[in-house]
Structure 1
Amino acid sequence: MTSNKIAIKSKQPVNLLKDPVTSTLKRMTIPMIYGMILLMTFNLIDTFFVSMLGTQPLAAISFTFPVTFTVISLMIGLGIGTSAVIAKFLGNNDHESAKNSATAALYFAAIVVMSLSFIGYLFTDELFTLLGAKASLLPLIHQYMDIWYLGSVCLIGPMIGNAVLRASGDTKTPSIVMGSAGLINAILDPICIFGFGPVPAMGLEGAAIATFISWLFGLGFVLIILTKQKNLIHTHLISIKVLMNSCRGILKIGLPAAGANMLTPIAAAIMTAIAASYGESVVAGFGVGTRIESIASLVVLALSMTLPPFISQNFGADLMHRVEQAYKSSIKFILFWQVLVYVVLILAAPWIAGVFAKEQKVADIIVLFMWILPLGYGLQGVVILTNSSFNALHKPIVALILSIIRLFVCYVPLAFLGSYLYGLYGFFIGALLGNLIMALISYRLFSKQFNEDEFSAKEQLS
């Protein structure tokens, strides 16, 4: 009898307003971690297969990262706005407004991503030449990006659709979507890149096709869940008035959040350009390092997706003590966790470099990257979680300002200064120092938020 009760209890949905803070965040975050482990691992497999084509294809796909991440960051930003608005509506028990906002978000995101990708397609050569790509790499970049642009509209599924699910407290389904899409990508990668049976070898174009198919699956999966199971989006066209009103609320948070997220690939483009001044081998090594960073920071990324819905719903219900507890416990955990990750990366650095690098110079860059930059991933996590928490509190301008300071006052300038004074070592160490300074600023600012709230509450009581 006891075991049956436990089983039934474990299947109960998460209540973001009443369940214990730490255990609730744990229940929400663990499924996201599983999904992201699968997704990031499969992305690394993607990079591994491309690396087997040689240094030039690896450098070419490394150049695409700032551009693809710009579109993805915009979708993430709109997802942040969507999640914050819907979670607050659900916290206020206003399901119809939440449903309108979810539907409008999908419409708007599809229009935006198609427009951006079309512009990117028209100016591919100019864009990547500006990033520092040599003329010899442009044909390889076209092979990947021409297909990528075509399939980018499918991003609304894993980015916006999953944000809607997370806002309702469901993190298990998004993790299944991410993991399944990543698995499909990993299976199709070697088939499309190197050929198998009737499928011809397509190189970088094949890698893009595999990604397109996996995204298409993710979009279909999410739409079925949102309409059939969750009833969180309309199956009919909504009116222009509802669309405009819903988009207004989403964009109030989503635009600054998207702007903040799009600053990251801009900074990444500048960092790639600095790396390009040292040659293609450094760009290739730096590109592998940034993908390792995604794996190393996946717990931070998972928390940045689960913490905001928790904060937004409790903010909507005026339970600010739970917001403070959630933020501070998340920060403490992430600093401890990332120290452990750093130790693992140091030990694994030579092996990882050997797997991904065909040339010794590329391997040396990968090792150097992992000896220095991952030391600051916990600090970077403080910044990321603080920004996502401000967005969840419907203070996106504060999060945007913090992002600007982090990237263009601390991170990039110190990396450039370090590169100018001390070469490649200074480049990496400068970036590390930028994360340290910004983490201190971010934590102090968010802590001040709660001190001001407590002061205002005391003033009202008196």
Structure 2
Amino acid sequence: MTVPMIFGMIMLMTFSLVDTYFVSLLGTDQLAAISFTFPVTFTVISLNIGLGIGTSAVIGKFLGSGETSHAKAIASGSIMLSVLLVSVLCLFGYWMIQPVFTAMGASQQLLGYIHDYMSVWFLSGVFLAIPMVGNSILRAAGDTKTPSIIMATGGGINALLDPILIFGMGPIPAFGIQGAAIATCIAWAVCAVWILYLLAVQRNLIESRLLGFEDFKQAARGVLSIGLPAAGANMLTPIAGAILTAIVASYGAEAVAAWGVGSRLESMASILVLALSMSLPPFISQNFGANKFERIIDSYKLSLKFVMAWQLFMFAVLAITAPWVAAIFAKEQEVSEYIQLFLFIVPLGYGLQGIIILTNSSLNAMHKPMGALVLSIVRLFVCYVPFAYVGSTMFGLLGLFWGCVIANFVTAALSYYWFMKEVNQQKTIYEQNHASSVININKKATNE
């Protein structure tokens, strides 16, 4: 299930880096401006991820327990819900562009570029809601190939349109940094139409109509019970990212530009983790519904071992290629040096971060969203931000980067302990209930 997701994520993240590359050609200010937007855009994306997690967990458990009658209504309701909630969030975000980015430390010069980009991107955020939740429906049914194709196609359209809309071509004017947002909007609009046709017509996985209020309310309740805590947990990441971006901004636009490049490279380096975080939850949800706890434990441990080995390899690759990578994205020497410093330190914690991500997604799959939410709060606001801030005050950017690594180590150990405790508790409860049922059946048979 993970292999198709890896290829889809590779294509998507590669085109995301292409996006950053073309913007970097406009100058350091534009690169710094788009770097400021990452925490805000990821807030919208996190809401979509959370709703997708809720959708996948509910549908997956129904499929595992053999209850398929409600899956179609839940799928339809989840898409309607995502469009509604994301539209409200994007509208609010548009109104708050200036105060939010000013609070993050963006200069007046950068605010103009940020407004040009975000005023269009918020529209694409609404279109993104449909394919993200739609892909979760497909993954819950065991299909990870089609979502990968859709993600790759969206990324491909975005990368193809980037140079045309950013720099202009023929009758098409140069939109500058806004062109990158327009390309994203068009790409996800195409994917939204595609996934709706696929789900409603070809696969018959959703209703080809809008649900009535009562049906919508019932479907939304099940998705939100897991989706809201999951979305909250995911939305904490960009909030913490915004705080760290504000800390990095105190070192100048060059540091913010390097931080933005490093963040994009982090996403690229974490492709396997992100792919596993999408394929592992449906597997766990279905086995949870079937009460097969040993399979849950085996799949979880195997995933962690593989992620740690793979991310250690990725750290070596990034550390060795750091000078060449920095040369691609940086025109100024100071930016290049900051990028190299980032790549020599921060990727060391990517495997540990992978443990945290997979544990959170696994807790959601087992219908324990509050545990995932608490774990995210501890990771970001008890460990990640405080450790990075203390490191920054003592040793500058070097200390900030090492603080991120140490925070991941502490939280990874806690994550593993937490998940194993939850699984064993659920296993004990099931065994006790099963034993009680057997005793009751035997008593009934004896009485008869």
Q: 1:5-404 residue pairs with structure 2 within 5 A? A: 28-404=1-377
Deviations 1:16-39 (A, max 9, x none): xxxxxxxxxxxx101000000000
CA distance in 1: counterparts of 2:256 and 2:423, whole angstroms: 43
Change over 3 Å in CA distance of 1:207–1:457 after alignment to 2: closer
CA distance in 2: counterparts of 1:204 and 1:39, whole angstroms: 20
CA distance in 2: counterparts of 1:453 and 1:115, whole angstroms: 37
| Cα deviation, residue 351, structure 1 | 0.6
| Cα deviation, residue 153, structure 1 | 1.0
Unaligned regions of 5+ residues in structure 1, if any? 1-27
2:291–2:430 contact (8 Å) kept in structure 1: no
* SS, match of residue 233 in structure 1: coil
CA distance in 2: counterparts of 1:318 and 1:458, whole angstroms: 9
Change over 3 Å in CA distance of 1:336–1:123 after alignment to 2: same
Amino acid at match of 1:196: M
Q: Which residue of 2 aligns with 1:439?
A: 412
Amino acid at match of 2:370: I
Deviations 1:132-165 (A, max 9, x none): 1011111111110111112221012231111111
* SS, match of residue 376 in structure 1: helix
Structure 1 residue 451 corresponds to structure 2 residue 399: no
| Cα deviation, residue 458, structure 1 | 6.0
Change over 3 Å in CA distance of 1:88–1:456 after alignment to 2: closer
Worse-matched range after superposition: 449-458 or 243-252 = 449-458
CA distance in 2: counterparts of 1:49 and 1:188, whole angstroms: 11
CA distance in 2: counterparts of 1:298 and 1:236, whole angstroms: 35
Deviations 1:314-336 (A, max 9, x none): 11121112111111111111011
Change over 3 Å in CA distance of 1:181–1:457 after alignment to 2: closer
CA distance in 1: counterparts of 2:399 and 2:210, whole angstroms: 55
Amino acid at match of 2:286: Q
Amino acid at match of 1:39: L
Deviations 1:53-85 (A, max 9, x none): 000000000011111110000110111001101
Give the total of aligned pairs. 435
2:276–2:358 contact (8 Å) kept in structure 1: yes
CA distance in 1: counterparts of 2:368 and 2:421, whole angstroms: 14
Amino acid at match of 1:290: S
Unaligned regions of 5+ residues in structure 2, if any? 437-448
CA distance in 1: counterparts of 2:313 and 2:338, whole angstroms: 22
2:387–2:407 contact (8 Å) kept in structure 1: yes
**What is the TM-score normalised by the length of structure 2?**
0.95
CA distance in 1: counterparts of 2:213 and 2:181, whole angstroms: 35
CA distance in 2: counterparts of 1:453 and 1:82, whole angstroms: 21
CA distance in 2: counterparts of 1:190 and 1:265, whole angstroms: 28
Worse-matched range after superposition: 170-179 or 225-234 = 225-234
CA distance in 2: counterparts of 1:173 and 1:439, whole angstroms: 32
2:240–2:385 contact (8 Å) kept in structure 1: yes
CA distance in 2: counterparts of 1:93 and 1:412, whole angstroms: 43
* SS, match of residue 115 in structure 2: helix
Worse-matched range after superposition: 321-330 or 253-262 = 321-330
Deviations 1:95-144 (A, max 9, x none): 33111111001111111111111111112111110111011111111110
Worse-matched range after superposition: 222-231 or 407-416 = 222-231
Change over 3 Å in CA distance of 1:230–1:135 after alignment to 2: same
Change over 3 Å in CA distance of 1:294–1:166 after alignment to 2: same
Report percent identity of matched pairs.
Answer: 57
2:293–2:427 contact (8 Å) kept in structure 1: no
Q: Which residue of 2 aligns with 1:15?
A: none
Worse-matched range after superposition: 435-444 or 221-230 = 221-230
* SS, match of residue 70 in structure 2: helix
CA distance in 2: counterparts of 1:454 and 1:75, whole angstroms: 31
CA distance in 1: counterparts of 2:250 and 2:281, whole angstroms: 39
Deviations 1:238-258 (A, max 9, x none): 121111011001000000000
Deviations 1:393-441 (A, max 9, x none): 0000000000000000011100000001111110000111000000000
What's the RMSD between the two structures over aligned residues?
A: 1.2
CA distance in 2: counterparts of 1:451 and 1:107, whole angstroms: 36
Amino acid at match of 1:362: V
CA distance in 2: counterparts of 1:236 and 1:449, whole angstroms: 39
CA distance in 1: counterparts of 2:53 and 2:429, whole angstroms: 28
* SS, match of residue 153 in structure 1: helix
Worse-matched range after superposition: 225-234 or 268-277 = 225-234
CA distance in 1: counterparts of 2:58 and 2:432, whole angstroms: 29
Amino acid at match of 2:292: L
2:384–2:407 contact (8 Å) kept in structure 1: yes
Q: Which residue of 2 aligns with 1:412?
A: 385
| Cα deviation, residue 456, structure 1 | 4.3
Deviations 1:271-298 (A, max 9, x none): 1001001100000000000000000001
